[in-house]
């Protein structure tokens, strides 16, 4: 278990009570913010002067090593990314740099606001992590930290910073998020596709796969179709012959969108059937054969406002949360010196 990954999202509300505010000191005039990403600085000889710097936030430096460690320790950054593709790697790298810069800005804002997170609160969270994820054994935590080449002090500081960031986000964002009736109605009218109900069908399937039977699946399917034409029970034949995952249920697939479960050729086969019809001939693909009976079909439509209320509210709140967060971060950037550097092409790789 990676020590960075055991710091889970916190419920920020209880933290605010422990974060006693003190009067904020007047802020010093800040240097003007620069462009979001800059080309690597160059010395007079034309050589690149990076010194491992990924970004600067006032006097604080985020190193390339910091960024790579974040990428290694948090699988969410790598999800769906082809690390061998330089363009995808560079885009991922920029996302992580922005994340770390925003984290620095929030921690700076917390410091300027004189937010005091009492140490007993941090100790309580550390004990909770040890109890829930290491069976209450501190030695197991220390072993995990040692394997990750991280000290307990550094890890505890990360836990503390995560709690501060969560508390600041709650104070500036979460407690100000709302979903007014007007905003919800506007969301519902502007995005009908989000609240659409896809068409669905109820059908029974017999999937015949290669097996010990001397007959190939296509020939066996032909035999079953003859039995069905003579009045045999579809569900009984499915339980006895089908290799489908629903064979025990008689091959029944109830109220499903075929596109979510079946190959395109099977979907086309299903679409060609009318409710109550059974395949006139088996669909053969590769070494398999399929027989389908379409029982019923429901057309797609749009959920009513009342039925979709919870989803509409969540979407409005998420949009408002994102807007407030972006406005807050933009304000923090304007009050700070922020500069982010592109990663040199030769460093677009992760070391083990």
Which of 6-20, 77-91, 136-150, 277-291 shows the lowest mean pLDDT across its residues?
A: 6-20
Domain match, 216 and 292 both? yes
- List the Cα angle 141/143/146 in 5-degree steps: 110
Q: List pLDDT tens digits, range 20-74.
A: 333 333 333 334 334 455 544 443 333 333 458 999 999 999 999 999 989 988 8
Q: How high is the pLDDT of residue 28?
A: 37
**What range defines the domain where residue 290 resides?**
199-299
- Using the 8-state DSSP alphabet, how is residue 48 labeled? B
Whole-number Å distance between alpha carbons of 278 and 291: 7
Q: How high is the pLDDT of residue 226?
A: 95
pLDDT-based confidence at residue 122 (cuts at 50, 70, 90): very high
Domain match, 119 and 241 both? no
User: Please, are residues 177 and 321 in contact by the beta-carbon 8 Å criterion?
Assistant: yes
Whole-number Å distance between alpha carbons of 207 and 246: 10
pLDDT-based confidence at residue 9 (cuts at 50, 70, 90): very low
Q: How high is the pLDDT of residue 132?
A: 95
- Using the 8-state DSSP alphabet, how is residue 341 labeled? E
Domain match, 127 and 10 both? yes
Q: How high is the pLDDT of residue 149?
A: 83
Nearest to 324 by CA among 182, 169, 191: 169
In a domain, 313, yes or no: no
User: Please, are residues 294 and 273 in contact by the beta-carbon 8 Å criterion?
Assistant: yes
Domain match, 258 and 340 both? no
In a domain, 311, yes or no: no
pLDDT-based confidence at residue 15 (cuts at 50, 70, 90): very low
pLDDT-based confidence at residue 131 (cuts at 50, 70, 90): very high
Q: Are strands 338-341 and 37-38 parallel, antiparallel or unpaired?
A: parallel
- List the Cα angle 68/70/74 in 5-degree steps: 125
Domain match, 24 and 89 both? yes
CATH code (residue 244): 3.10.50.40
Q: How high is the pLDDT of residue 109?
A: 96
Q: How high is the pLDDT of residue 117?
A: 87
In a domain, 306, yes or no: no
Whole-number Å distance between alpha carbons of 41 and 26: 33
Q: How high is the pLDDT of residue 36?
A: 54
Domain match, 79 and 37 both? yes
In a domain, 241, yes or no: yes
Q: How high is the pLDDT of residue 72?
A: 87
Q: Give the bridge partners for 49, in sequence order.
A: none
Tally of CA atoms within 13 A in the half-sphere of 129 that contains its CB: 27
Structure tokens at 130: 């040890």
Between 168 and 347, whose confidence is greater? Answer: 168
Domain match, 277 and 325 both? no
Asked if the model's pLDDT at residue 1 lies above 90, the reply is no
222 φ, ψ to 5°? -60, -40
Asked if the model's pLDDT at residue 326 lies above 60, the reply is yes
Please state the pTM of the whole predicted model: 0.67
Domain match, 96 and 123 both? yes
Domain match, 137 and 229 both? no
Q: Residues of the chain with pLDDT > 70: what percent?
A: 83
Please count the structural domains in the chain. Answer: 2
Q: List pLDDT tens digits, range 72-119.
A: 888 899 999 998 999 999 999 999 999 999 999 999 999 999 988 899
Mean pLDDT estimate for the chain: 85
Q: List pLDDT tens digits, range 280-302.
A: 999 998 889 999 999 999 988 99
Asked if the model's pLDDT at residue 17 lies above 50, the reply is no
Give the SS3 label for residue 290: strand
Domain match, 162 and 270 both? no
Domain match, 170 and 246 both? no
In a domain, 304, yes or no: no
Give the SS3 label for residue 351: coil
Domain match, 48 and 84 both? yes
b/e per residue, 259-269, with b = 16+ CB within 10 A? eeebeeebeeb
Q: How high is the pLDDT of residue 47?
A: 37
Q: List pLDDT tens digits, range 310-323.
A: 999 999 999 999 99
Q: How high is the pLDDT of residue 73?
A: 83
């Amino acid at each position: 278990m990676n020590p960075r990954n055991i710091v889970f999202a916190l419920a920020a509300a209880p933290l605010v009570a422990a974060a006693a505010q003190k009067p904020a000191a007047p802020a010093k005039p800040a240097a003007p913010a620069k462009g979001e990403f800059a080309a690597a600085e160059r010395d007079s000889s034309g050589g690149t002067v990076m010194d491992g710097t990924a970004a600067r936030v006032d006097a604080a430096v985020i190193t390339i090593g910091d960024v790579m460690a974040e990428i290694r320790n948090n699988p969410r950054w790598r999800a769906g990314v082809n690390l061998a593709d330089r363009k995808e790697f560079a885009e991922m790298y920029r996302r992580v740099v922005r994340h770390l810069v925003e984290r620095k800005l929030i921690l700076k804002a917390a410091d300027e606001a004189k937010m005091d997170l009492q140490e007993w609160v941090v100790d309580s969270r550390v004990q909770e992590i040890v109890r829930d994820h290491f069976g209450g054994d501190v030695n197991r935590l220390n072993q995990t930290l040692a394997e990750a080449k991280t000290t307990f002090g550094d890890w505890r500081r990360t836990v503390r910073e995560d709690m501060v960031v969560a508390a600041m986000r709650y104070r500036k964002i979460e407690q100000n998020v709302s979903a007014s009736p007007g905003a919800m109605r506007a969301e519902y009218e502007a995005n009908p596709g989000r609240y659409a109900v896809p068409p669905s069908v109820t059908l029974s399937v017999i999937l015949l796969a290669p097996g010990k039977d001397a007959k190939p699946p296509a020939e066996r399917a032909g035999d079953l179709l003859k039995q069905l034409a003579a009045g045999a029970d579809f569900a009984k034949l499915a339980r006895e012959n089908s290799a489908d995952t629903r064979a025990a249920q008689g091959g029944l697939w109830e109220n499903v969108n075929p596109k979510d479960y079946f190959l395109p050729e099977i979907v086309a086969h299903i679409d060609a059937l009318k409710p109550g019809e059974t395949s006139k001939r088996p669909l053969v693909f590769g070494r398999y054969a399929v027989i389908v009976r379409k029982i019923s079909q429901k057309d797609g439509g749009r959920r009513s406002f009342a039925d979709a209320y919870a989803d509409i509210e969540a979407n409005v709140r998420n949009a408002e949360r994102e807007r407030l967060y972006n406005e807050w971060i933009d304000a923090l950037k304007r009050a700070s010196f922020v500069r982010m550097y592109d990663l040199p092409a030769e460093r677009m790789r992760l070391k083990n």
